[in-house]
Amino acid sequence: MRMTTIKQHKSCICTTIRQSSAVNHSEDPVLQDLMRGLQKEAPPPRTAVPAWDLNVVLEALSKPPFEPLNEVDLQHLTFKTVFLVAWGTAARVSELHALSMDANHLRFEQTNKWLEMTAAMEFLAKNQRATQPPRKFRLQALTTKGHGKGAAKILCPVRAVRIYLDRTKFHRRDRKKLFISTFKKAEKDVGIRTIARWLRETITECYRMQAPQDMSDAKGAHAHQVRALAASLAVAGHRPIKEVMKAAYWKSESCFTKFYLKDMAKYQNQNTGRSTVAASVSLDI
């Protein structure tokens, strides 16, 4: 049994007992010593870099059927935009789902150098208090310097969002969420699971077209890995951990380093053109 499971069981049992007898066993010194001993016996595993290669995904997103972005079908436009926003913000899927189109919740800088997005007023993130203001995310527009002609522009999340908004305005109707269904006649808002599925399917689709021989690497892909990779590459690019945590809304440094910080040597040691494409997209702080 994993240590996280044991902690969940302990918390559930202690909460149930406290509600019925007002006794807080979670502060019992014997139980605390037991949990510390178990922690030493089964320390949390250090998370490895995902099997799927970010460079494969970003390279595929630079080509048909994801480009030219003004002409692609709505599904590929949505897949690319959601992935680039997730990658550029290191946001949780729930936060992506909560991004709002209400007044002043989505704002482009006049020269399109950046885009500021805010979650809906009623949304509370995982570690957000009710008294705190809605979450804001800032996306920096990418330039082509140092990354090859046009490469950064094609992967620019600000460009993708602007085109996405223009292409979806005719069937958006009164929906307030930034991301809407890929079916033009859909009446309901998409759910959190749909956005998570879009991220998984984007990775799978990119592998299918760019590296079909390595499709097995993409099978275990999941949405949360995009968040972890974005933050980890920012740290690997010499961004202070505290700044990265603040930008991605992590409160605990130990939680970030144990469960989310990945070994980026795989990308840092690559001298291919694809690795420069990966470096062209990073968390804006």
Can you tell me the mean pLDDT for 17-25?
Answer: 76
Query: 136-140 and 114-118: which strand pairing?
Result: antiparallel
Q: Looking at residue 158, what is its pLDDT?
A: 92
Q: Looking at residue 282, what is its pLDDT?
A: 44
Q: Looking at residue 104, what is its pLDDT?
A: 85
Q: Looking at residue 29, what is its pLDDT?
A: 83
Read off the tokens for 51: 């099997």
**Domain-wise residue ranges, the chain:** 3-41, 54-279
The pTM is what? 0.76
Q: Which CATH superfamily is domain 54-279 in?
A: Intergrase catalytic core (1.10.443.10)
How many CB atoms are closer than 10 A to CB 145? 8
Q: How far is it, in rounded angstroms, from Cα 253 to Cα 208?
A: 36
Q: How far is it, in rounded angstroms, from Cα 124 to Cα 144?
A: 36
Q: Looking at residue 160, what is its pLDDT?
A: 95
Among residues 175, 155, 152, which one has the least CA distance to residue 165?
Answer: 175
Lowest mean pLDDT among 7-11, 34-38, 40-44: 40-44
**How many residues are listed for the chain in this entry?**
285
Digit-coded pLDDT (tens) for 211-228: 999 999 998 899 988 988
Helices (H), 90-156: 93-98, 151-154
Digit-coded pLDDT (tens) for 222-272: 998 898 888 777 777 666 677 776 666 666 666 666 555 655 556 655 544
Among residues 277, 264, 253, 197, which one has the least CA distance to residue 50?
Answer: 264
